[in-house]
Amino acid sequence: MRDLTRDSRFLAINTATVRAQWDLRQAIEGVARAGIPGIAPWRDQLQAMGVAAAAAAIRAHGLAVTGLCRGGMFTSFDRAGLARALDDNRRAVDEAAALGARCLVLVVGGLAPQSRDLAAARDLVRDGIAALLPHARAANVPLAIEPLHPMYAADRACINTLAQANDLCDALGPGLGVAIDVYHLWWDPALEREIARAGAAGRLLAFHVCDWLVPTRDLLNDRGMMGDGIIDLRRIRGWVEAAGYAGFCTEPARCRTDLPSHARPCAGHPRLSCTTRAPAPRMMRRGARTLNANNFRRTQFPGLTLPDARRHPYGGSRGTQRNGP
């Protein structure tokens, strides 16, 4: 397994992490200034900046786009409205191609409106991905299915295990892979086997790292910083790398926008190492963590509010719950 303790070459930040503080242009500049080589932008911010302008800025700063967030939501309009969802997904593919993104991340959608039929939702997802694949293949943009925790099956993603995602990849063929997010998959007793299965087929496209807090106070808004929770991150990363993955570790957490600025734990996110503890070796000890992380934020992210809290919630609200993975 790679020793990433002091190696940030494989670190990427999802722009949702700093959404409350930065627009996409500021995020591109801030991530590059911090020496972080990878970025995963969100489509709403991308469209606000302009795809061409964002692509030029990303190239100018030498950043790799580890993935574009997000496509999918094939079930948003029921089967009669699938064409509408596909139109948006084709635009997402074109945006990913313009950025040179390594994949388009798919959060596939939950139950169709007014439906309780989970099997029908999964059938609709399969049909939607099958219809999108020719366009994605022509654009040379891999599609990465991101299985989400079962708690999101109703409203965000009815694909909830890596086995389900692998089965779809087997059925639909080339151009389709998986994005592994430890927050969503750490609990799965078949995880090691399914990671190996994905690796053997060459479909490990993205690896997302954060942590599961105990207690988790809000199933949507309460993700943890790596090392603050109970996920065995090093073990899972070992499985992923043993299966052949040698790409970026993308940190995908988001800060709650309903908190006062002094209580937003990811305002001025520290530069993180992709290990089970973060940020750097002297910051691993809990007693020293907050002070050292804040010192880093002051130097790497000047002008941002510096939180003292250790907890790192994952943003959104019931009114905007479809805006994040």
Residue 117 pLDDT > 60? yes
What is the pLDDT at residue 297? 37
Q: Can you tell me the distance from the alpha carbon of 269 to that of 304, in angstroms, rounded to the nearest whole number?
A: 9
Hey, which CATH number is domain 11-317, 3.20.20.150, 3.40.50.1100, 3.30.56.10, 3.50.50.60? 3.20.20.150
Cα–Cα distances in Å, from 70 out to 86, 202, 215?
13, 21, 29
Residue 255 pLDDT > 70? no
Paired tokens of 221: 């808004």
Q: What is the pLDDT of residues 188-244, one digit of tens each?
A: 999 999 999 999 999 999 999 999 999 988 887 788 888 889 999 999 999 999 999
| Among the ranges given (5-19, 138-152, 293-307), the one the predictor scored with the smallest mean pLDDT | 293-307
Residue 134 pLDDT > 90? yes
What is the pLDDT at residue 311? 36
**pLDDT-based confidence at residue 41 (cuts at 50, 70, 90):** very high
Residue 280 pLDDT > 60? no
**pLDDT-based confidence at residue 162 (cuts at 50, 70, 90):** very high
What residues contact 39, with CB distance under 8 A and at least 6 apart? 12, 13, 14, 15, 27, 28, 31, 58, 63, 64, 65, 66
Q: What's the mean per-residue pLDDT of the chain? A: 82
Q: What is the arithmetic mean of pLDDT over 85-92?
A: 97
Report helix, strand or coil for 47.
Answer: helix
Q: Can you tell me the distance from the alpha carbon of 310 to that of 75, in angstroms, rounded to the nearest whole number?
A: 36
Q: Can you tell me the distance from the alpha carbon of 133 to that of 268, in angstroms, rounded to the nearest whole number?
A: 38
Q: What is the arithmetic mean of pLDDT over 23-34?
A: 97
The larger pLDDT score, comparing residue 20 to residue 105, is at 105
What is the pLDDT at residue 253? 62
**pLDDT-based confidence at residue 128 (cuts at 50, 70, 90):** very high
Give me the amino acid identity at 196: A
What is the pLDDT at residue 270? 43
pTM of the model: 0.81
Q: Can you tell me the distance from the alpha carbon of 267 to that of 293, in angstroms, rounded to the nearest whole number?
A: 11
Q: Can you tell me the distance from the alpha carbon of 325 to that of 312, in angstroms, rounded to the nearest whole number?
A: 16
- Listed as own residue / partner, the contacts of 31-36 with beta carbons closer than 8 Å and 24 or more positions apart are 31/61, 31/63, 32/61, 32/62, 32/63, 33/300, 34/271, 34/300, 34/301, 35/8, 35/271, 36/8, 36/11, 36/12, 36/271
Where do the domains of the chain lie? 11-317
**pLDDT-based confidence at residue 28 (cuts at 50, 70, 90):** very high
Residue 99 pLDDT > 70? yes
Cβ atoms of 268 and 301 closer than 8 Å: yes
Q: What is the arithmetic mean of pLDDT over 11-15?
A: 95
Q: Which backbone phi and psi does 103 adopt, to 5 degrees?
A: -165, 165
Cβ atoms of 74 and 130 closer than 8 Å: no
Q: Can you tell me the distance from the alpha carbon of 106 to that of 84, in angstroms, rounded to the nearest whole number?
A: 16
> What are the DSSP E strand ranges found in the chain?
11-14, 38-40, 64-65, 68-72, 104-107, 143-145, 176-181, 204-208, 211-212, 223-224, 249-251
For CA atoms 253, 30, 22, 143, give the dihedral sign.
negative
Give me the amino acid identity at 15: T
